[in-house]
Amino acid sequence: MKFSNTYINLGQAFFQRCLPQKSPAPELLLWNKPLADDLFISEELQSDKCLLSQYFSGSKLPEGAESIALAYSGHQFGHFNPQLGDGRAHLLGEVIDKNNKHRDIQLKGSGQTKFSRRGDGKCALAPALREYIMSEALFALGVPTSRCLSVVITGETIHRGLAKSGAVVTRVADSHIRVGTFQYFAARGDITSLKALVDYSIKRHFPEIENDTDEPLSSEQGILSFLSCAIDKQINLIVEWLRIGFIHGVMNTDNTAICGETIDFGPCAMLGVYDENKVFSSIDEYGRYAFGNQGKIAHWNMARLADCLMPLLIDIADKSLSKSEQEQQALNKVEHLIHQYSHKFDDAYFTMYGKKLGINNGVANKSLISNLLATMQSENLDYTKTFLQLTKSLSDENIAKKVSNTLGDWYQQWLVVLAQEETLKSTTQSGIQQSYYPLAESLMEKNNPVVIPRNHHVEAILEFCETIIGHNPSAITSSTKEVINNKVNEFLDVLRSPYKEIAATTKYQETSEDSDKYYQTFCGT
C-alpha cells in the first residue's frame, strides 16, 4: 500500500495527531477483496491475514501511514455543536485507486482521541458489520457511498448496556471532508483555514472548477462554483437514496460529506411499506430525518454550508462598499444558489421516479408519479415489491392482472403514458410472450432492484454473528470465523446482484412478518 496524506498539508488546525489503540487479540473477520484489488493492495499482503489484522485493527501502522483524527463541528438534529471531531476514528492516509482517485483509509472503533468527549472510542461488532453490509449493498445498487475494506475483531469486550465483542471497521471514502468541517472553522472565524479548505476541496473533488477559470480557486467565482457543485452532489445522493428506499437516519451536518457519498451507517434502515414519514432511528424522536424529509434536510444542510462560505465572500468583497452592503451582496449570491435547490431537486426527483416507471420524461408526469406514491401510502404497499411487480407486469399477464386490481385506474393511465413513448411490440413471437413495452421494461429493470438489504435480514445476520462469537471474543476459532464468513458472504452475494436474480435471491426477498412495525435502529456508539 502506497500511502500519502495530502490533508495533513492543510495544517495542524485541521486534525490531531494520535495513534490508534492496540488491540489485545485482533482477528481478521471480513476482508473485501474486490475493493482491496481496486486499491492495488498486493496479493502478498492480502495473503497475510495476521498482518492485515494488525494493520486494520490499528495495532500496527502500515508503512507510510500517518494516523490523525479530523476536526469538525456539526448541527446534530438542528442543534449546533462547535466541537465534535473523530472521537473513535483514525485516518491513516490516502491511496490511489484503479481510477486514479485519492481514497481515504480510515479506521473506525480504533480508540480514543481528544475529540472522544468521554467516550471509549470503540465500536461493537454489530455496528461494524452493519456498515460493511449496508455500504456494499448501496455500492452494488449504484448509490454513491463510502465502502468497507475489512472488519477486525479486537479480542476485547466493550460495554453498550450489555457486553459486546469489540471490532474495528476500515472505511474507504473519497474523503472525510464534511459540511461540519467548514462549520468548524467558520465558527472560529478562521478565514485562512476556510480558504485553504475550499481550495483543497475544489482540487480534490471538483477539478472542473479549477479548469474553468484562470482566477484563484477561492475567488468569488470559485467559491460560488464550489457551492453549486456541492449542492448538485447532495441532490444526486438523496435522490439515489429515495430510489432504493434508503433512510439514513442521522443526516447531521457532520455526516454530510462534500464529495456526495453516504457515510455513517449507524441508524440507517430500508423502507418496507411505503410511508414518506417513516422513521426507524431511535434517536430521531420528531421525524426530522424521515424518509420523505431527506431532500429537505439536504437543502437545509447546504444552506449551512453557504453560511460558512459567506465570510470568504465578504473578505474579498468590494472594499468601497459598507460592511452591511458587503454582507448583503454576499448573501444575495449564496441565496441565489440555495434557492435553486428546490427546482433542481424536484427535477431530479421526478426524473428518477419516471425511470422507475419506465418513463423518460418524469417531470412531465408529476401527477402520475405523485398519485402512485399516494396510493402506495394509503394502501400500505411495499415499496420495492410494488415497483418490481410493475416491471414484471409488462411481460407477465398474470402479474399485470394482479397489479391492475391493486392500483385500479392508475395502472391503465400508466400504460397510456408508456404507449406514448414507444411503439408497441407484437404480443407473440415464435409462440413466446413478448414485452409490450421493451424500452420501458429495460429502463425499469435498471432502476428497480429485485432485492434490497431488508431490515429483518440484516438484523438476523448481526444477531447470528454476535451469538456465535459470544462474550469471549478473544477465544474466537478459525471454524467460527469461517461460519461467520459463509453467513455474511451468502447474503452479500445476493446483495451484490440487486438487479438480477441469482439462486439465493428468493431467500432474502420476503418482507418481515410485522412489516417492520416495531423495528428500531440505534447509533451504535
Evaluate if residue 427 carries a pLDDT over 90.
no
Q: If pLDDT is split at 50, 70 and 90, which confidence band does 349 have?
A: very high
396 is catalytic: no
| Residue pLDDT, tens place only, 188-211 | 999 999 999 999 999 999 999 977
Q: How far is CA 69 from CA 111, 116, 119, 348, in A?
A: 11, 10, 14, 36
Q: Is residue 429 part of a domain?
A: yes
What's the pTM value of the predicted model, to 2 decimals? 0.95
Question: DSSP of 308-343, one letter per residue?
Answer: HHHHHHHHTS-TTS-HHHHHHHHHHHHHHHHHHHHH
Neighbours of 223 (CB within 10 A): 25
- Contact indicator for 304, 179 with CB cutoff of 8 Å: yes
Check whether residue 266 and residue 332 sit in a common domain.
yes
Look up residue 361 and give its three cell numbers. 420524461
Rounded average pLDDT over 89-118: 96
The Cα 134–Cα 137 span in angstroms is 5
Check whether residue 247 and residue 390 sit in a common domain.
no
The Cα 334–Cα 303 span in angstroms is 9
What pLDDT score does 159 carry?
85
Q: Is residue 479 part of a domain?
A: no
The Cα 106–Cα 117 span in angstroms is 20
Check whether residue 196 and residue 221 sit in a common domain.
yes
| Residue pLDDT, tens place only, 34-78 | 999 999 999 999 999 999 999 999 999 999 999 999 999 999 999
Per-residue 3-state assignment (H helix, E strand, C coil) for 430-498 = CCEECCCCHHHHHHHHHHCCCCCCCHHHHHHHHHHHHHHHCCCHHHCCHHHHHHHHHHHHHHHHHHCCC
Check whether residue 253 and residue 142 sit in a common domain.
no
Sequence letter at residue 461: I
| Residue pLDDT, tens place only, 390-415 | 999 999 999 999 999 999 999 999 99
Check whether residue 372 and residue 345 sit in a common domain.
no
Q: Is residue 478 part of a domain?
A: no
Q: Is residue 518 part of a domain?
A: no
- Contact indicator for 40, 98 with CB cutoff of 8 Å: yes
Check whether residue 300 and residue 349 sit in a common domain.
yes
Q: Is residue 214 part of a domain?
A: yes
Look up residue 349 and give its three cell numbers. 426527483
Domain span at residue 417 reads 360-447
Check whether residue 306 and residue 370 sit in a common domain.
no
What pLDDT score does 426 carry?
41
What percentage of residues in the chain have a pLDDT greater than 90? 86
| Residue pLDDT, tens place only, 279-309 | 999 999 999 999 999 999 999 999 999 999 9
**Structural domains counted in the chain:** 3
Domain end (from 176, 200, 219): 176
Evaluate if residue 83 carries a pLDDT over 90.
yes
- Contact indicator for 314, 191 with CB cutoff of 8 Å: no
Q: From the candidates 254, 264, 284, 516, which is the catalytic residue?
A: 254
Q: Is residue 492 part of a domain?
A: no
φ and ψ of 153, to 5 deg = -80, 130
Q: Is residue 520 part of a domain?
A: no
Q: If pLDDT is split at 50, 70 and 90, which confidence band does 428 have?
A: very low
Check whether residue 340 and residue 375 sit in a common domain.
no
What pLDDT score does 524 carry?
64
Domain end (from 393, 425, 447): 447
Domain end (from 147, 176, 205): 176
Paired strand residues for 93: 105
Q: Is residue 498 part of a domain?
A: no
